[in-house]
Amino acid sequence: MPFLKVRFYFWLCWVSVAACGLSLVADLILPNGGTPAGTASPASSSSLLNRLQLDDDMDGETRDLFVTVDDPKKHVCTMETYITYRITTKSTRVEFDLPEYSVRRRYQDFDWLRNKLEESQPTHLIPPLPEKFVVKGVVDRFSEEFVETRRKALDKFLKRITDHPVLSFNEHFNVFLTAKDLNAHKKQGMALLTRVGESVKHVAGGYKLRNRPLEFAAIGEYLDTFALKLGTIDRIAQRIIKEEIEYLVELREYGPVYSTWSALEGELAEPLEGVSACIGNCSTALEELTDDMTEDFLPVLREYILYSDSMKSVLKKRDQVQAEYETKLEAVALKKEERPKVPADVEKCQDRMECFNADLKADMERWQNNKRQDFRQLLMGMADKNIQYYEKCLMAWESIIPLLQEKQEAK
């Protein structure tokens, strides 16, 4: 039957996407990082679920800062229309004057925060924001679905910062969470870059590093491969969802035909109505599956594609600081003194480079742990949603068999 062939086709498509995802998690492991080589694969989906729950329980850190994003509201003004979100903060930290805050922020405020974090913490990986611009006529940025997807992404953005041992104490983050009038802080002008940021800005381009550590070269190669694989999965998943939506349109036209046909028949009326109802149930199940993949699967892929770009940016800044250090060191070596004294600015540059190295490695390890857990949960959720879909379809088709058997027995 064409119907069953199409269902089987979609099953094969999602299996291929899941396989790509598993390959991504299992194969892209950096040296001295990720899952230990001796870790056994779970034998069943239930054992995997238990493993995921165990991983969640292993996070025994005492949290003293909680931030949530909710309650999106649309604002219509003379010059523009925009959405704001409520940011609720609860904390026991001494940096906060009150135990709880509630403020409203729009997307450009989140963008301001991220820029400030990049300026003031150039050695750290800053979590990405969801992309601001959407294609007009294709996505309605004020639709309930789009606003909810963005709310989830903004909530995750703040939670990533909240969980970071350095970024969560940043003064700009504190202002973002607590200030009633954020515009007053914005009007103070662009803050001066840190010394590290200034040095990065003034390094001449085109310099080739002489002694780039192998671990950072491996990180660069890993990020290139990671982004390539993830981009491929994203494109395939979008094509599958597009085909599922087109198939859903056909199903909605296909089912009612059996219902109208049943009016012309006598003994076949009840089985034909059953087929119509069955196709309707399958349509509902497919719509739920497509919505789940669109709202839960694709956003995670896109977040990590943006995450890889952010990591590449930090890695580039780290290389620029090393280039500055090597340039200054060579200048000292060219002096004709027998024992040239290393100037203080060279030592400071070396300290900045070591700071970059330590922060980048720590953030990379934290990112790898988050990525491993996020993708395992994502793939587990994708498997569960597909199982539910096919179980609903199977149940719907099995319900027709008794109707047909009754007619045969009556004859």
Average pLDDT over residues 97-110: 94
CA distance 280 to 1: 17
What tens digit of pLDDT does each residue of 363-410 get?
999 999 999 999 999 999 999 999 999 999 999 999 888 877 765 555
What confidence score (pLDDT) does residue 378 get? 92
What tens digit of pLDDT does each residue of 217-256 get?
899 999 999 999 999 999 999 999 999 999 999 999 999 9
| 138 confidence band (pLDDT: 50, 70, 90) | very low
Tokens of 112: 């301001």
What confidence score (pLDDT) does residue 225 get? 94
| 55 confidence band (pLDDT: 50, 70, 90) | very low
**Rounded (5°) CA angle 303-223-157:** 25
Tokens of 60: 């025994």
Phi, psi of 86 (to 5 degrees): -85, 130
- Number of helices and strands (H, E) in the chain? 12, 3
Phi, psi of 341 (to 5 degrees): -80, 135
What confidence score (pLDDT) does residue 23 get? 54
Tokens of 360: 């980048």
Determine whether 38 is exposed, middle or buried from the number of CB atoms within 10 Å of its CB (0-12, 13-18, 19+): exposed
- Long-range own/partner contacts, residues 57-64 (CB < 8 A, 24 or more apart): 64/91, 64/92, 64/93
Under 8 Å between Cβ of 328 and 351:
no
- Dihedral, CA atoms, 91, 93, 95, 98, nearest 10 degrees? 40
DSSP reduced 3-state for 104: strand
What confidence score (pLDDT) does residue 24 get? 54
Quote the pTM value.
0.78
DSSP reduced 3-state for 39: coil
Under 8 Å between Cβ of 123 and 143:
no
CA distance 156 to 127: 9
Please tell me which residue, 62 or 144, carries the higher pLDDT value. 144
- Long-range own/partner contacts, residues 78-84 (CB < 8 A, 24 or more apart): 81/142, 82/106, 82/107, 83/107, 83/142, 83/147, 83/150
What confidence score (pLDDT) does residue 71 get? 93
The percent of residues in the chain predicted with pLDDT above 70, rounded, is 74
For the chain, the average pLDDT equals 80
Instruction: Please choose, from the candidates 150, 154, 161, the residue with its C-alpha nearest in 3D space to the C-alpha of residue 126.
Output: 161
**Rounded (5°) CA angle 142-145-146:** 50
- Cross-strand pairs, 106: 84
